[in-house]
Structure 1
Amino acid sequence: MSLNSIFQYFVPKDKKFFPLFEQAGANLIVMAKALKESVYTTDLSRRAELNKKIEDLEHKGDDITHQIHLELGKNFITPFDREDIHSLASSLDDVADFIQGASNRMELYKVETPSQAMKEIADLILEATDHVAKALNELRDLKNIRNITDSCVRINSVENKADYIFDKAMSELFEYEKDAITLIKTKEVLSAMEDATDKCEDVANVLESILVKNA
């Protein structure tokens, strides 16, 4: 057991890191919902509004990440290992970055008619972020290990589904799409979206590491 873990037995419940992680999780859900709406609409002006909203939310996520790092610098005792706090904050920030990246590419490339694969992966991003947020909300009480583990398993399942949809979409794209510009646009957007699910899986991996160390 680490020195930090021993100290935790003698200090009050953390009132800084857990609320910040919960805010980060809630922010990801709002971003994912906005991305889903953006993918399902063909109204380019509405998509531009949603892209701006997602950009603002990504900046909000950056602020939360920055605050977590500030708290790490100010607090000697943390609720779990400092490296894991840093890794968790960074992986959550990565999810936000790729959600924003997917939205931005749709806007920049003027994707008029999002593909079915984009819609399906957008659905999965929202599902994954929901599980991420649920797991983060359980961190306050590590006695509920089963709930966190269940969320991690579901995140991994979602990521596998996104991989399958992405690979199938790429296969069909290169086989049937004859317009090179459309092919590149579609590939770039799908890549960013699939990467967002990969980053959710990275969050799950960090959470599982925390569980192992604090079991």
Structure 2
Amino acid sequence: MSNFLTTLIAKVSPREEKFFDWFNQHADLVVNAAKHLAAMSAEQDHSFKGHFEAIEGLERQADDVSREILLALHRTFVTPFDRGEIKDLATALDDVIDIIEQIPVRASMYGLTRFTPEMAALGQIVLRATEKLKEAVAMLNDMNHADRIIKACHDVTVIEDDADRVMRNGISRLFAEETEARVLLATKELYELYEAAVDRCEDAADVIHSVVLERI
């Protein structure tokens, strides 16, 4: 092969490792956003603005990484795994951080900057789910870790069950105690967003699980 052709292919075909680098960057941003969400959900309203702005910044960075991944798919001859699964994983990771951002967006719209005990618990659950997701992503480039990756993906499913339980308890208490319709509906929507963030973590874990099963 000529030097010219080798150079041309190198330019239009990023190394496989680059995709794993991008996925790790994406997962790091998701975890950092979840840390701010967990802190925001547990603290008083004086910290809300700072956490909100931090999450917005992280979401913009995640969008940039997601764009890099999708653009690279169009100029790469050989990908580390199925193109559709690369797109699905990038999209799922982006969905997680998008929903995390929607929680303070909606809370701000509705004037709710103080959070319930169940929301504090859900914030921690979202964080745990993203950390397990990051753990799985970090091992994705080495199928010697297949069993550990599958275990991390399973852990996300278990965590999702915890989120369902806490959300149900929160909504049950909300309908028993809250009398103002506006607050009731707004708070219910926030609970659903917390749970949706964990659901998207499970979606990403499902993609990773599928990738592993196809490569071992």
Using structure 2 for the length normalisation, give the TM-score. 0.90
CA distance in 2 between counterparts of 1:150 and 1:189 reads 29
CA distance in 1 between counterparts of 2:121 and 2:43 reads 14
Amino acid at match of 1:64: V
Give the structure 1 partner of residue 44 of structure 2.
42
Look up the SS of the partner of 2:16 in the other structure: coil
- Runs of 5+ in structure 1 lacking a partner? 1-11
Among 2, 16, 19, the residue aligned to 1:17: 19
Could you list the per-position Cα deviations for residues 83-102 of structure 1 after superposition, in whole angstroms to 9, with x for gaps in the alignment?
A: 11010000001001110011
Give the structure 2 partner of residue 152 of structure 1.
153
Look up the SS of the partner of 2:144 in the other structure: coil
Moved >3 Å (runs of 4+): none
The 8 Å contact of residues 73 and 83 in structure 2, kept in 1 or not, is answered as yes
Structure 1 residue 143, shift from structure 2 partner: 1.7
Using structure 1 for the length normalisation, give the TM-score. 0.90
CA distance in 1 between counterparts of 2:48 and 2:40 reads 5
Q: Write the mapping of 1:118-197 to structure 2, written as runs, cut at 5 A.
A: 118-197=119-198
Look up the SS of the partner of 1:143 in the other structure: helix
Could you list the per-position Cα deviations for residues 149-169 of structure 1 after superposition, in whole angstroms to 9, with x for gaps in the alignment?
A: 111111001100001111121
CA distance in 2 between counterparts of 1:88 and 1:113 reads 33
- Runs of 5+ in structure 2 lacking a partner? 1-13
Give the structure 1 partner of residue 5 of structure 2.
none
The 8 Å contact of residues 84 and 206 in structure 1, kept in 2 or not, is answered as yes
Give the structure 2 partner of residue 114 of structure 1.
115
CA distance in 2 between counterparts of 1:140 and 1:27 reads 19
The 8 Å contact of residues 45 and 114 in structure 2, kept in 1 or not, is answered as no
Give the structure 2 partner of residue 202 of structure 1.
203
Structure 1 residue 13, shift from structure 2 partner: 6.8
CA distance in 2 between counterparts of 1:47 and 1:211 reads 39
Q: Write the mapping of 1:85-100 to structure 2, written as runs, cut at 5 A.
A: 85-100=86-101
Say whether residues 1:29 and 2:31 are aligned partners.
Answer: yes
Structure 1 residue 35, shift from structure 2 partner: 0.7
The 8 Å contact of residues 32 and 126 in structure 1, kept in 2 or not, is answered as yes
Give the structure 2 partner of residue 55 of structure 1.
56
Amino acid at match of 2:44: T
Identity %: 33
Aligned length: 203
Alignment CA distance shift 1:87-1:99 (3 Å):
same
CA distance in 1 between counterparts of 2:170 and 2:48 reads 23
The 8 Å contact of residues 47 and 107 in structure 1, kept in 2 or not, is answered as no
CA distance in 2 between counterparts of 1:68 and 1:13 reads 12
Alignment CA distance shift 1:202-1:164 (3 Å):
same
Amino acid at match of 2:100: I
Alignment CA distance shift 1:147-1:13 (3 Å):
farther
Look up the SS of the partner of 1:94 in the other structure: helix
Which is further off, 12-21 or 117-126? 12-21
Amino acid at match of 2:102: G
